[in-house]
Chain A
Amino acid sequence: MIQPAKPDLVTVNIDGKEIAVPKGTNVIEAARLVNVDVPHYCYHPKLAVVGNCRMCLIEMGMPAVDPATKAPVMDPATGKQKINWIPRPQIGCGTTVSPGLHVKTTSPMVKDAREGVMEFLLINHPLDCPICDQAGECKLQEQATGYGRGYSRFIEQKNVKPKRTQLGPRVTLDDERCVLCSRCIRFSKDIAKEDVLGFVDRGSYSTLTCHPDRKLDHNYSLNTVDICPVGALTSTDFRFKMRVWFLKQTNSICTESSVGVNSVVWSREGVIYRITPRRNDEVNDTWMPDSGRILYKQVQSAERLKAVESLEALVAKAASIFKTSAGAISVVGSGRSSVEEQFLTKKLAAALGAQAHLVKRAGEGDKLLISADRNPNVRGALVTGLISQLPCAELKQLSGEIDSGKVKTVVAINEDLLAAGLTAAQLAKISVVYLGTHANATSLAAKVVLPTLTVFEKAGTFVNQQFRIQKFAQAVPGLTGAHNDLTVLSALTAAAGGAALPSEVGTLWPVIATETPALATMLYKNIPETGLLLDATPWAGLSFVEGETLHFKPAAPVAATV
């Protein structure tokens, strides 16, 4: 029975299955809801519909009505309303649903149409899957297998087109593989607002080219590689590095800025090979900046800190420093630490009787997916109560306290104090206990260095600019000689005389939930993969530095960036 549809819903029939879908949905998306696959190349849910690949051809029809009386025409054989099928196939991407629309995706006409399109696409395709980086995640491979004829009738010479063209610093183009879907062109024009790509020549000689005087070098160029359904656009960084079928996918969050781009980390045997965006319609759609994709290189960096001594010995050293300078300690937390780490930082600061500071890291936003606040988790520090005011530039208060001799020891958590605004002279005056991943001026000057893990080697949560709490998982095992930040922080808290706290995300969360009003009733495992919006009203009075980005509008007037 057809259920009476809600006003904004339209009931359609796809392969005999009735479904109510929102108005304006196209047939591909409607079919997806009833688990019917309509193959396509040029259609992308986040790009304009052009309908030039012709792969999504379907057969459609409308219930018949008498032209004069508008009364339904019944089919005496079935007793149901007759369907007037359109004699030629239609494209699914460009067809929006209308009430009573009937769609066939498995009829002989559709099968013929798909086989024909596949055959035309494969005529000039080089079929070099063994050397193609897209193999394994290639729509042409999948759909040739699923909907193709299975053999070739083409005996003529294939077209020759430019191969190994460097479109920009990060993208390599193989024109022979291109199926002319124009996704990359639409992305560059509509999303990245850099209209540098286009087709030249006609017919089967059509070639994707970059504007002769320009390069595909904007900070979103690698998204064209992601959306390329075939292996025409490949990432120069990932080119020939590893086959995708060996790679393990781990959901992660990009730490580049407070946008909190959802990402997938692709690794094999503890080595990360690439980072790609993960679809989140509320945060980043399906896009990601190029600059966030190379952050994985920090994991294998030669600058990584490694401990020779055991964690116990290092914590004991830190404890003796804490004892000698009791009452004159300050903690510099980080907006790049996870919510869990910031919670433990707060506990550590409380146990030491120290004041917690946060380092401000402001840049320029690009109005798309990089915000002005380059700390991914300043709001996490507000939510956990590590700080109550937004971090001020250059640690002014701390540097004043060091000059006056009020602070003799600083616990720095993954923050280079010199880069944050302190001077070398000030650094020499104090004892520094440094927790961090990479060597820098502060780690060199520190009395005790506790090596910790990068974001790819641990699990946790970040709170992005929308006050959306998003979780990231551990992609690769931690470096030998480095310890999880939570382990180190809870050991330091215990050494400073605080209560023993769990050092694992799962067991720590019940403690966080009971002590943090904004996170009450939440657990790490209950946070959905697309994140959870927190109530931001307690912090509505603060003037955050972020400007407008994709899916985000600042609520309060924007403060001047420093």
Chain B
Amino acid sequence: MAVIQVERKPLSFAERTYIPQIIGGLKTTFKHLLKPPVTLQYPEQRPEISKNYRGVPTLVKDPNGREKCVSCQLCEFVCPPKAIRITPGEIPEDSPNAHVERAPQAFDIDMLRCIYCGLCQEVCPEEAIWLQNQFSLSGYTRAEMVNHKDKLYELGGTLPDAHFKWDKKKAAEEHGNEH
């Protein structure tokens, strides 16, 4: 390739003093000095999390306090890093939720394995597992990083339910057939 020699332009006097450049830089500095800060004093101040953020997966209860998970194990199946481990169980006959029949005996999510992909939330037929807004998670041991059922419900809390399909089911059962 041909080499083209470019002649360097000589600097003017003002440029040689650097003063215009310094003034230009300081102008930007002083402009931002008067604006509100964009940084946060983390961890005292926490950022606002967007609604579709995929944070730590959690289990939720419906507004009546019924645990929504029925331990169908689809999330365990779909989980790419195999972070979820469920021991299915049966709801006892004397429970008010006996008509739901199934609930997890144990539900463990290994947060050292979780990749926050959200497939568990997507696959859940009961809308029981949600990736909510918790994003900072730490622990001293590996065992501490496994979220058990109690911790998952504590993190998840209650989510509004638009369907109440199990309540409708129970009502239909009590109502019976019209014949």
Contact = CB atoms under 8 A, between A and B. Distances in A.
Nearest to B100: A131
Interface stretch (A76-84, A240-248, A430-438, A468-476): A240-248
B43 interface: no
B102 interface: yes
Nearest to A242: B88
A160 B172 contact: yes
A543 B173 CA distance: 60
Interface residues of B, number: 24
B31 interface: no
B176 interface: yes
Nearest to B169: A126
Is chain B's interface secondary structure helix, strand, loop, or mixed overall?
mixed
Given A129-B125, A205-B177, A243 B172 contact: no
Given A158-B172, A160-B172, A160-B173, A130 B179 contact: no
B126 A130 contact: yes
A164 B172 CA distance: 16
A239 interface: yes
Contacts of B169: 126
A241 B101 CA distance: 13
A141 to B, nearest CB: 13
Interface in B69-103: 70-74, 76-77, 88-90, 99-102
B175 interface: yes
A163 B99 CA distance: 9
A163 B100 CA distance: 11
A239 B88 CA distance: 10
Interface in A218-267: 239-243, 245-246
A126 B166 CA distance: 11
A246 B86 CA distance: 12
Nearest to B105: A240
Interface string A350-386: 0000000000000000000000000000000000000
Contact of A246 (B77, B125, B177, B178): B77
B73 to A, nearest CB: 5
Contacts of B71: 240
Contacts of B177: 159-160, 205
B72 A131 contact: yes
Interface in A118-162: 126, 129-131, 135, 157-160
Nearest to A201: B179
Contact of B88 (A157, A158, A241): A241
A160 B175 contact: yes
B77 A245 contact: yes
A132 to B, nearest CB: 9
Interface string A206-225: 00000000000000000000
Interface in A44-102: none
Contact of A240 (B88, B125, B178, B179): B88
A239 to B, nearest CB: 7
Contacts of A163: 99, 173
A240 B105 CA distance: 11
Contacts of A242: 73, 88
B89 to A, nearest CB: 7
A164 B101 contact: yes
Contacts of A157: 172, 178
Contacts of B72: 129-131, 135, 243
Nearest to A174: B101
A519 B59 CA distance: 59
B172 A130 contact: no
Interface of A: 126, 129-131, 135, 157-160, 163-164, 205, 239-243, 245-246
Given A130-B70, A160-B173, A163-B99, 18 more contacts: A130-B72, A130-B74, A130-B102, A131-B72, A135-B72, A157-B172, A160-B176, A239-B90, A240-B89, A240-B101, A241-B88, A242-B88, A243-B73, A243-B77, A243-B88, A245-B77, A246-B73, A246-B76
14 contacts: A130-B70, A130-B125, A131-B102, A160-B173, A160-B176, A163-B173, A205-B179, A240-B89, A240-B90, A240-B102, A243-B72, A243-B88, A245-B77, A246-B77
